[in-house]
Amino acid sequence: MNVSTFIAKRYLFSKKSRNIINIISIISFLGIFISASALVIILSAFNGIQEYVEDMYGRHAADMYIEPEKGKMISADDHLFSYLNEYKKNINYFKQIQETSMLKYDKRWVAATVIGLDSVLFQNQNWEHDLTQGKADLYFKSFPGIILGYGLQHQLQADLNQNFMSEISMYSVNKDQKISVQNQSVLRQNHFILNGVFSVNPDIDGSTAIIDYSAANKIFNYKNGASTILIYAEKNDHIYEIKEDIKKQFPHLVTYSHEEKNKLIYAANDTEKWMVMAILIFVLLLSSFTITSSITMLIIDKKKDIFTLSSLGCNQYMIRNIFFKEGLLISLLGSLLGLLFGLFICYVQMEFKLITFSDASLEYWPIVIKAVDVILLLSVLTIVGFVSSYLPGRLLMKKVFN
């Protein structure tokens, strides 16, 4: 241990001649400690919410989507299907139909987005996990079934009871007929058994009903076509390559990934997180001024010691280094202990789930600790501590020696 480090430690832990300097040093330490703790706790809390939102919107998402640039349907004879069947990389694709229809139960009507999904895909996506009532099945024995979003079920007041079958009527426009007031056959009526109710996120819950693709194909007269093609790649890093290949071969189609589909949600989450971090770093900067004040007061208090050290042969650089290292010790000690305390609080929440919610989709506040965030915070805290410790010695030592 060199002389400047030894003296800096002595100054840090020994009692100063003026009590106010002790108080300022403690305030400096607590300011950095609390700021560091708050940064790691709040960033980890934001990570938890971000992961929850991304999971909520991406739980049943495909890796990539293909839609027609014009119109609503990709016809069954489109060369896209033969291209996908022979594609060089391992992918699976499924047809999806999405149409607007009117649902009726008893005397209640509601407009809904009806999604026709392949039964195999529906089972693979594990919708059972998101059901609040019923079973994850698109058929009741051989009769077509329907799965309603929680919001739709609430609007229809449709009962789901094991003792009797609730029948949901679906009204859709017959595309083979001309729309007119006199032509009543323009509306098709189909009946479905209510098999289950799901809850994924508010946007989907309040507007979406799910039926089997074959039933939707017949009702909406898609002739084995699709409104959207869902692509699932064996390796996620192939998605953008697949996307570019399809764009080159089929300019009449639009391709986009799951992240691009929910771009606004991802961007909003990131923006909120970094805005909060910027505010907390600003608070940290304000807290770091107390280190500057503490070192300034210490230099004034130790003026006699400075002249003694100078007489013993210590140069200006070495004396300045003493006070710089003391400020750095206060900053690093407060930062490291603050980060450890913040990580401990995060661990307690992750393990014991102390912060809970009632009447919400979240049972408890999720916490996700990312190593990247911790390294970033350590870097910021080190830089702030370095600057706030360096300035007082640099500016005041010249005046002391002059």
**Percent of residues, the chain, with pLDDT higher than 90:** 53
Looking at mean pLDDT, say which of 11-20, 46-55, 260-269, 352-361 comes out highest. 46-55
pLDDT of residue 11: 67
* Other C-beta atoms lying within 10 Å of the C-beta of residue 238: 16
Distance separating alpha carbons of residues 181 and 202, to the nearest angstrom = 35
Inter-residue contact 28 to 348 (CB < 8 Å): no
pLDDT of residue 359: 72
Average pLDDT over residues 28-36: 91
Question: Band of the pLDDT at 18, cuts 50, 70, 90?
Answer: low
Q: Quote the strand ranges of 199-344, DSSP E.
A: 208-212, 228-233, 253-257
* 49-69 per-position pLDDT tens digit: 989 988 888 889 999 999 999
Top pLDDT among 335 and 322 is at 335
Residue with tokens 């869902």: 230
Top pLDDT among 309 and 98 is at 98
**Percent of residues, the chain, with pLDDT higher than 70:** 91
* 82-103 per-position pLDDT tens digit: 999 999 888 999 999 999 999 9
Distance separating alpha carbons of residues 383 and 13, to the nearest angstrom = 23
- When the pLDDT of each residue in the chain is averaged and rounded to a whole number, the result is 87
3-class SS at 229?
A: strand
Question: Band of the pLDDT at 362, cuts 50, 70, 90?
Answer: confident
3-class SS at 259?
A: helix
| pTM reported for the whole predicted model | 0.82
Top pLDDT among 36 and 25 is at 36
Q: Which of 78-87, 229-238, 346-355 has the lowest mean pLDDT?
A: 229-238
Question: Band of the pLDDT at 264, cuts 50, 70, 90?
Answer: confident
Distance separating alpha carbons of residues 170 and 219, to the nearest angstrom = 9
Average pLDDT over residues 26-53: 91
Distance separating alpha carbons of residues 256 and 402, to the nearest angstrom = 68
* Residue 160: closest CA among 144, 177, 145, 141: 145
* 155-185 per-position pLDDT tens digit: 999 988 766 789 999 999 876 666 555 555 6
Geometric angle at alpha carbon 256, from 253 and 258, rounded to 5° = 145
Q: How far is CA 201 from CA 151, 259, 360, in A?
A: 10, 17, 11
